[in-house]
Amino acid sequence: MAEGYLGSKTIVIFGITVVNIVFGDLDDSESLRRPVQDAAVVYGVTDFWQHLKDPQVQRQAAKSSEAINAVAFKREIAQGRALIDAVAATLPSLERFVFSTLSSARDASRGAIDSNFHFDSKAEMLKHLKGKYPELRKEKVRDGAYKLCMPMKEDAPLPFVEPNADTGPFVRTLLVLSPGTNLVGAGSLISWGEWCNIWGRVNGVECTFQRQDRRMIEDAAGVVGREIADMYRFFEEYGYCGVDEKNVVYPWDLPVKVKYTTMEEYIRSQDWSSVLHPEMRP
């Protein structure tokens, strides 16, 4: 977003789209919504000093009894609030809002320092953010805690399997069952939230789940990114088995006993030292 920049353009290097620049005017709150729409990460900063050179601010100061930096103070606050309001509208996709701010000289000095406008303006923006949008709160994973991020909801059940150990028993079981049996090869049917609880309990740490925007996995997974993101969307909206769910059976519901590995058993059998102690990785 840049004041004075009209239109939009795309920067292309060697035929690859690198970044799309979209116009946003900090004095026009509606124009700020498009640049941050569906954003996962937003960085915001305002510039107090440019207002001192703005003819509009200079004229306003000349017509009033206010000093030009006092007028700039109000202008910057208005711009910052407009930016914060636009970012708050992206909450369904937003994962991180990085905002450039400063401390309040007026508050720290209990009003004794009342002309440090370029500090106080940014502090006022932060008050607006905290007061109006508590959902944009500071969130930090505690030291020693872990967070699993997936582009789907936390409570959707999914089948988990240990294929190396359980494929053979599943196939042998199907040989004694009626033809046409649709067996879901799974040792557990749990959600990602439950998975986090099990993993954390087994390893003696805190593990929580956070939904992430699908674009994060699209970018991370390269050419198959969209496919993987669509897979998770399918899981969430239709279930792992989709329309076939009513025609499937799970190992624990069979009339015969079959060996399978639960997710807790699998987690306990694995070496998680590279995750728990990343500093020890070779």
Contact 181, 249 (CB under 8 A): yes
Least reliable range by pLDDT among 32-36, 123-127, 203-207: 32-36
CA distance 79 to 29: 8
Q: Where in the sequence of the chain do the CATH 3.40.50.720 domains occur?
A: 9-136, 145-280
**Residue 4 pLDDT level (bands cut at 50, 70, 90):** very low
Q: Determine the pLDDT at residue 204.
A: 94
177 touches 256 (CB < 8 A):
yes
Q: Looking at the predicted structure, is the pLDDT value of residue 15 above 60?
A: no
Distance CA 58, CA 72 (A): 9
Domain 9-136 superfamily per CATH? NAD(P)-binding Rossmann-like Domain (3.40.50.720)
CA distance 120 to 115: 8
What pLDDT sits at residue 214?
86
Over range 24-50, report the average pLDDT: 88
In this predicted structure, the answer to whether residue 230 has a pLDDT above a threshold of 90 is: yes
Reduced 3-state DSSP string for 148-170: EEECCCCCCCEEECCHHHHHHHH
The closest of 27, 10, 13 to 77, measured between CA atoms, is 27
CA separation (Å) from 228 to 99, 145, 182, 235? Answer: 31, 26, 24, 11
pLDDT, position 9: 47
Closest by Cα among 92, 95, 222 to 149: 95
Burial status of residue 184 (CB atoms within 10 A of its CB: 0-12, 13-18, 19 or more): middle
Average pLDDT, the chain: 87
Bigger pLDDT: 243 vs 171: 171
According to DSSP, residue 43 is labeled E
Q: How far are the Cα atoms of 60, 117, 282 from residue 67, in angstroms, in the given order?
A: 10, 11, 61
Phi, psi for 116 (deg, rounded to 5): -85, 65
Q: Tell me which architecture the domain covering 145-280 has in CATH.
A: 3-Layer(aba) Sandwich (3.40)
**More confident: 7 or 48:** 48
Residue 142 has pLDDT above 70, yes or no: no
Any residues with CB less than 8 A from the CB of 167 and at least 6 apart, and which? 185
Q: Report the percent of the chain where pLDDT is more than 90.
A: 60
